[in-house]
């Protein structure tokens, strides 16, 4: 049976390899151009009637 220390070593090595692979994929795709329709954001802000707020006591 595997020693407890070997299980920690194997688990840590697997996690390290997964992180390195994932980071490499992100780095390789970092400079890809985005489609403008995918990056478009519509912001709808409420219209505020300032006169209601200016009349409040300070």
- Give the whole-angstrom CA distance, residue 18 versus residue 12: 10
Residues in the chain predicted with pLDDT less than 50, given as ranges, are none
- Give the whole-angstrom CA distance, residue 28 versus residue 49: 49
**What percentage of the chain exceeds 90 in pLDDT?**
34
The pTM (predicted TM-score) of the whole model is 0.53
- Give the whole-angstrom CA distance, residue 39 versus residue 26: 18
């Amino acid at each position: 049976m595997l020693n407890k220390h070997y299980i920690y070593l194997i688990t840590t090595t697997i996690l390290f390899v997964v992180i390195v692979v994932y980071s490499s994929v992100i780095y390789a795709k970092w400079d890809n151009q985005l489609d403008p329709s995918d990056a478009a954001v519509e912001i709808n802000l409420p219209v505020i009637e300032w006169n209601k707020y200016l009349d409040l006591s300070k």
